Amino acid sequence: MGSIKLSIIICTFNRALQLEQLLDDITTQHRRLRSDDACQVELILVDNNSFDESKEMIHRFIESTSMSIKYFVETRLGLTWCRNLAVTKASGDLLAFLHDDISLDDDWLKECYKIASTCKDQEIGIYGGRVIPLWQDSIPDWLCLEAPFNVRQDVFHAHSYGDEEKLYPFESEFGYSQLPSGINVLIRKEVFENCGNFRSDLGPSASGGFGLCDDYEFFEYLSMLKIPMLYIPQSIVFHPVSPNQMSIQYIRRWYFKYGMARFWIAHTDRMKRPVKEFLGIEDKYRYFLPQFLKNTISSIPMYLMFKFSMLCLWWTVLNFSFNTRRKNFISYKISETMGEIDAAALVHERVTSRKFSFKDRLTKKGILDT
C-alpha cells in the first residue's frame, strides 16, 4: 500500500442514520477511483461517545467495505476534541473534514483526491469547499436571504459564493466571504504540525458553552500567520436545513451564540493581540463614540449597553412600519449584542477569578518570555 494522500475525517455524535447515508456516498465514490488511487485514501471516524446505534452501525460498515478505515471513540464531549484526535491519527498529506449530516456531490471525492495529489506543489494551506443548503421546506416570506437585510449563510450551515476559485477573503455577488467553513474543508497536515490545533473551549458541546466559531477562530488565526486559503467551488456538499431552523427564534439564538463566541475569542486570543477598541461596534461608527463609553458598569462596557439601547429603540420604531425584513434584521443584531454582553461578563469573571501567579508577574516585568 502506497503513502496516504487523502484522509477523510468525520466526527459524529448520535446521528447513526445520517452518518450511514454519508458513508454509503463515500464508499460508492471510493469504488469509482482507480485502484492505485483508492489505496491512497483513508477514512477516519471519531465517535464522540454516542449512545444511539452509531457504534453498531459503524462496526457493520467496517466489516462490509475494503476501504481503509480507522475508528476511534472520544469520550470528552466536543467537536474540537474529536477533530484534534483525528488529526493525530491521520496519515494523509491532506485532511478533508466533513460534518456527519451532509450529503456529497457525485464528484466530491474525485475533486478532493485531485487536490490531494497536487497540494504539496501549491502554496495553499486550506481549501474551502462549497456547502449548499438543502431546504426541507418552503422558505417563508419573512426570511430574507438577500442583502442588505439578509441572514448570514452560516446560520443555515451554508458556504456558497459562486463558481469561481478565489483566495480568501473575497467579495462575490453572493456576499463577502472572509474564511472557509469547517463543514467541508481540506487542510494540509503540515498546517497542524506547524501551527497547532482547534481550540477545545469552542464549538458544539464545548465545555465553555460556546456552540459556534471553533472553525472561525482556527482559520482566523491561520490567516494572521499568512497561511493562504482558497475557495474551491468544485468540492460540493449539501447540508439539510430542517423546518425548525427556519424560525425567527432559532435565528436569534444563533446570533446570540455568534456574538458571544466572537467576543470571547477576541479576549482570549491565542496570539495575544490587543482587543480592538469598541469591539462589537461596526468600524464606520467607532469614530463617533466618546471614549468614556469604554468604561464599565458591573463589568459590562458602556458602549455595548449603548449599542443595545439604540438597537432596541430602532426596532421599536420599525414596529410602526411595514418593513418586516428590516425589523427582523435589527432583532438579530439585538440578539448578537446580548451575546456580546454575556461574553463580557464571562471575560470579567475569567480575569477576576484567576489566582495569583509569580510567572505572570515576571512575564509582565519582562524577566520571563511568554
Question: Stretch 169-174: mean pLDDT, rounded?
Answer: 94
Instruction: Please tell me the predicted confidence (pLDDT) of residue 54.
Output: 96
Judge whether residue 204 has pLDDT over 90: no
Instruction: Please tell me the predicted confidence (pLDDT) of residue 323.
Output: 86
Q: Is the Cβ–Cβ distance between 61 and 26 less than 8 Å?
A: no
List, for residues 64-91, the tens digit of each pLDDT value: 999 999 999 999 989 999 999 999 999 9
CA distances from 121 to 54, 115, 125 (A): 38, 10, 11
Higher pLDDT, 354 or 43: 43
Instruction: Please tell me the predicted confidence (pLDDT) of residue 362.
Output: 66
- Alpha-carbon distance 113 to 43, whole Å? 13
- Alpha-carbon distance 172 to 156, whole Å? 19
Judge whether residue 118 has pLDDT over 50: yes
Instruction: Please tell me the predicted confidence (pLDDT) of residue 206.
Output: 57
Judge whether residue 92 has pLDDT over 90: yes
pLDDT band at 215 (very low <50, low <70, confident <90, very high): very high
Instruction: Please tell me the predicted confidence (pLDDT) of residue 201.
Output: 87
State the chain's mean pLDDT as an integer.
92
List, for residues 15-62, the tens digit of each pLDDT value: 999 999 999 999 999 999 999 999 999 999 999 999 999 999 999 999
Question: Stretch 147-167: mean pLDDT, rounded?
Answer: 95
Q: Using only C-alpha atoms, what is the Rg of the chain? A: 22
Output phi, psi for 139, to 5 deg: -80, 125
Instruction: Please tell me the predicted confidence (pLDDT) of residue 349.
Output: 85
Question: Stretch 291-317: mean pLDDT, rounded?
Answer: 95
**Beta strand extents in 213-275 (DSSP E only):** 229-241
Q: Which CATH superfamily is domain 6-244 in?
A: Spore Coat Polysaccharide Biosynthesis Protein SpsA; Chain A (3.90.550.10)
pLDDT band at 160 (very low <50, low <70, confident <90, very high): very high
Question: Stretch 335-350: mean pLDDT, rounded?
Answer: 93
Domain ranges of the chain: 6-244, 255-352
- Alpha-carbon distance 48 to 16, whole Å? 12
pLDDT band at 357 (very low <50, low <70, confident <90, very high): low
Higher pLDDT, 207 or 155: 155
Instruction: Please tell me the predicted confidence (pLDDT) of residue 44.
Output: 98
Judge whether residue 208 has pLDDT over 70: no
Which percentage of the chain shows pLDDT scores above 70? Answer: 94
Instruction: Please tell me the predicted confidence (pLDDT) of residue 1.
Output: 47
Which has the closest alpha carbon to 332: 212, 247, 220?
Answer: 247
Question: Stretch 355-369: mean pLDDT, rounded?
Answer: 64
Q: In sequence order, what DSSP letters do the residues of 273-326 get, joined into one string?
A: PPPPTTTTS-HHHHTTS-GGGGSEETTEEHHHHHHHHHHHHHHHHHTTSS-HHH
Question: Stretch 101-110: mean pLDDT, rounded?
Answer: 97
Which has the closest alpha carbon to 293: 303, 282, 284, 283?
Answer: 303
Judge whether residue 356 has pLDDT over 60: no
Q: Is the Cβ–Cβ distance between 151 and 251 less than 8 Å?
A: yes
Judge whether residue 321 has pLDDT over 90: no
Judge whether residue 63 has pLDDT over 70: yes
